[in-house]
Amino acid sequence: MEPLVVTQLLALISLTWALDNGLLKTPPMGWMAWERFRCNTDCTNDPQNCISENLFRDMADRMAEDGWKELGFEYVIMDDCWMSRQRDGQGKLQADPARFPGGIAKLARYIHDRGLKLGIYADMGTATCMGFPGTTLDKIEIDAQTFASWGVDYLKFDGCNSSPVEQMQGYPLMSKALNATGRPMAYSCSWPAYLGGLPPNVNYTLLGDICHLWRNYNDIQDSWDSLQGIIDWFSNNQDNLQPAAGPGRWNDPDMLIIGNFGLSLDQARSQMALWAVMAAPLIMSNDLRSLDNRARAVLQNRVAIAINQDPLGVQGRRLLQEKSRIEVYWRPLAHYASALVFLSRRTDMPYLYHTSLAKLQYPAGNYEAYDVFTEAVVTGLNATTELTLSINPSGAVMWYVYQQADALHYHQRKTSSQSSFHKAKQGHHSVL
C-alpha cells in the first residue's frame, strides 16, 4: 500500500469527533508561553522575548501562516505574569498596561481574526506562582465574567498559594462560574498536581465532571531527564490515570518542549510519539519564529497528530519494560487499528529489538504497519512474524498498525465517507 493511501486511511480517524460540538472531545492543541519564555517581563532590554501582547501576536501570526492552524493547533495560551500587580478599581484583573497596552480583549480579537483561540492563566490562591494577583474564593465569579467579556476561550487555573480546602471549593466553583458566563471555555485544572496526582487524594471522577484537562505532576523542564521523569511517573501510575481519560477529560503531562535546547532529534520524536500514545494535550512551548525544520517536521507529523486526535479517546499504556532498556507502549484506535511505540532508554548505541505482534498481545491475523517517522509501510505481517527494529539511543520507533482486511476495504469505505469527510474538513482539522 502506498504511504499516501495509508495517510488517507489515517484521515478517517478524525471523522467522528467533528460531529460533536462539545469542547475538547480530542486533546487540545496549541501553544503556551511558560516553558520557553517563563516570567520574562523585561521588555526594555528583551522586547522580542518578554511576556507582552507582541509575543502573543507573533505566535498567532506564525500559527496562522506556517501551517499549524490547518493541523489543529488552535489555542494561543498565556501563562503567568501577564497581569498588573493590582486589580482595577472594580476589583477586576487587568493586564500590565506597559506590556499589554491594547488590553486582553483587543488581543483576543487579533487572535480570533486569525482563526485561533485565546487561552489565559489565573491562580486559585492569594497570589499566582510568580506573585501576581490570585483568584481567591470571593473573586472567582468576577474573574470568570471578566475572562468571558474579553473573549477568552481557555483557562489554565493554577493552585499556588492556596490550601487543599480552598482548592476543594475553588476548582468546582470556577467550573460553575465559567459555565454561568454562557461563553464556552476550555478549563485546565492544576488541582491534581497539588495533591500528589493520585487517588485517594485525587478524585478523578469528580475532576472529569468539572475540568476538561488537568495537570497531574511536576512542571516539565527543557531536558531529557525531566521528560523521562514524567514518562516514568505516568507509566508507573497508569492503572490510576488511564481510566480517568477520555473525550472531554484528559490527563496532561505538560508541554511539548520540541524545538528548544534540551532535546536531540531522537528525543523530540520520542516525546511526540509518547504524547500521541498517551492522548496528551499537544501544547507546544517553543519559539515558532525561529523553529528549525527538523523540529517543525516532528511537531507537524500528520500521522502522529492523527493518532493523538483519535476519536475513541483511549489513553495508551506501557506494555513492557525489557531488561535491554527497551519499553513498548500501545494505544487502541478507531477502526480496530492501534499505535505502538518502541522507546529506548539506552545511551550507548542503536539497539536491535526482536519481537512479534503476538508477543505484544495481538490476536492472529494479517497486518500492515506504517512507520510514523520514516513513512515506510511494513507489509506481509501476521501475529507471529518475527520483527527486528533498530531503535536509536533515547529514540523511538512509532507504528500505526492495522489489519490487512481494513486496507483491502479502504476504497469501499472511501466512497461512502468522502462527502462527510469534506464537510468535516471545512470546520475541523484533518491529517490530509
Catalytic residues: 158, 219
Q: Are 337 and 310 in contact (CB under 8 A)?
A: no
| Largest CA-CA distance found in the chain, in angstroms, rounded | 71
Residue that has been written with the C-alpha cell 522507546 in this structure = 343
Report residue 61 as a C-alpha cell. Answer: 501570526
Helix H, strand E, coil C: the string for 278-328 is CCCCEEECCCCCCCCHHHHHHHCCHHHHHHHCCCCCCCCEEEEECCCCEEE
Cα 328 from chain centre: 21
Residue that has been written with the C-alpha cell 476504497 in this structure = 411
Exposure on the CB side of residue 425, measured as CA atoms within 13 A: 12
Residue 263: C-alpha distances to residues 259, 303, 430 (Å): 8, 21, 28
Q: Are 407 and 1 in contact (CB under 8 A)?
A: yes
Q: Which residues are 339's β-sheet partners?
A: 331, 400
Name the pairing type of β-strands 282-284 and 75-77.
Answer: unpaired
Distance CA 52, CA 45 (A): 13
Distance CA 13, CA 160 (A): 39
Secondary structure letter of residue 410 according to DSSP: H
Exposure on the CB side of residue 221, measured as CA atoms within 13 A: 7
Q: Which residues of 237-258 are buried (b: 16+ CB within 10 A; e: fewer)?
A: bbeebbebbebbbbbbbbbbbb
Geometric angle at alpha carbon 192, from 186 and 195, rounded to 5° = 155
Geometric angle at alpha carbon 199, from 277 and 274, rounded to 5° = 10
Residue that has been written with the C-alpha cell 507502549 in this structure = 329
